[in-house]
Amino acid sequence: MRSRQEIPANAGARVALEEESGLAGDDPRRTVGSACVALKKCGRVVALGRSAGLELEREAGGPRAFQKRRGEVKRRHLFICWVVSIWILGGTGCSMSAVKEQNRRLKESNDRLISENNRLEEELAALQKKLSSPDRVTEVTSLKTNDPGRDGARVDADKDLLLLDDEVEVRKTPQGVTFRVPDRIFFALGQATLSVRGQRILEKVARIIDRDYPNRLIRVEGHTDDTPIRKVRHLYPTNWELSTARACTVVRFLVERCNVNAHRIYPAGFSYYRPTTNAKSPAAKSQNRRVEITVLNETT
């Protein structure tokens, strides 16, 4: 027969075990640190169980009852360790998942920044290449004038030349200084109406001409390719009319909008009889369609 004090003694030992292990009262799942501390205390629970076992043996009335009670304590201890271990592993798994997700997002953001940086570096390199292009630098820096009023100053110091459109060629010829502009910058296909982009370029050219060549004659040439006129034949029966109309449009803009002296500028249309290349490819035809503004060596 068990003593009536056996149950209170057992309950007291259980409370002592729970308090000693740190699992009584508050939930031990507050932090990973508290769980680790609980695990460290499990060893102390074993020692406590042994000391409590001697008292249980005396109160239980024999070794057999004591072994039964000891088994219950051991199972309780193993259950506590199992719960805490599962909680630690589960919390660590959730924490690792969050860290991995954050790392993934940081990597994606870093990849985007690297890609954007590479794109900006490529654009910067392309711009520097255009500004330092041998053809463009040679054409601009080789321009000099024999005008006594300028004392042989170099035109490469002229910022307006460097700010011209990338597709505008500036070159020194035996006749003078020529600004060569592809027709697509000034005009639509088969048209002689000046584009907004073309107007901005002509304004820059006019500033250079008025400041650096105030007394020079200016010839504006219109050139086409050898493709016959079809859609706008009622306006321009041949390429003669189209090339001359385009040259006249440029002259009128320079005189009326840019205040170039009308006494020293004149138009000329050459149709397709002065090509820059005799090739028949689309690129070659595009190269032949152009407007050339030549500041002649002659003075008024």
How does strand 169-173 pair with strand 216-223?
unpaired
Question: Which tokens go with 163?
Answer: 């700010």
* Count, residues in the chain: 300
> Which segments in the chain show pLDDT lower than 50?
1-18, 20-32, 45-46, 137-158
As a whole number of angstroms, the distance between CA 277 and CA 288 comes to: 7
| Res 206: pLDDT | 94
C-alpha span between 58 and 129 (Å, rounded) = 98
One DSSP character per residue, 104-160 reads: HHHHHHHHHHHHHHHHHHHHHHHHHHHHT-HHHHHHHHT-B---GGGTT-BGGG-HH
Characterize the bridge pairing of strands 290-299 and 265-269: unpaired
Pick the CATH number of 133-299 from 3.50.30.30, 3.40.50.10260, 3.90.25.10, 3.30.1330.60: 3.30.1330.60
Residue 272 near residue 226 (C-beta atoms within 8 A): yes
Per-residue pLDDT, 294: 96
Q: According to the model, what pLDDT value does residue 62 have?
A: 58
- Say if residues 168 and 291 touch (Cβ distance below 8 Å): no
39 and 81 Cβ atoms separated by less than 8 Å: yes
Kindly list the domain boundaries of the chain, sorted by start residue: 6-111, 133-299
Burial tier of 96 (Cβ tally within 10 Å: 0-12, 13-18, 19+): exposed
Task: Output the pLDDT for position 111.
Answer: 77
Quick one: pLDDT at residue 69?
Answer: 66
Residue-level pLDDT at 192? 95
Exposure of 214 by Cβ count < 10 A (0-12 exposed, 13-18 middle, 19+ buried)?
Answer: middle
Q: What pLDDT score was predicted for residue 176?
A: 93
CB burial of residue 278 (10 Å; 0-12, 13-18, 19+): exposed
pLDDT at 3: 46
Q: How far is CA 117 from CA 29, 104, 112, 120, in A?
A: 46, 20, 9, 5
- The answer to whether 71 and 53 are in contact (CB under 8 A) is no
Comparing CA positions, the residue from 236, 253, 256, 255 lying closest to residue 244 is: 236
DSSP state of 276: S
| pLDDT at position 199 | 95
Task: Work out the end-to-end distance of the chain between its first and last CA atoms, rounded to an integer number of angstroms.
Answer: 139
Query: Which helix (DSSP H) or strand (DSSP E) does residue 161 occupy?
Result: helix 159-162
| 6-21 helix and 32-60 helix, angle to the nearest 10 degrees | 160
Model pLDDT, residue 23? 45
For residue 6, the 8-state DSSP code is H
Give me the pLDDT at residue 66, please.
58
Amino acid 151: pLDDT: 38
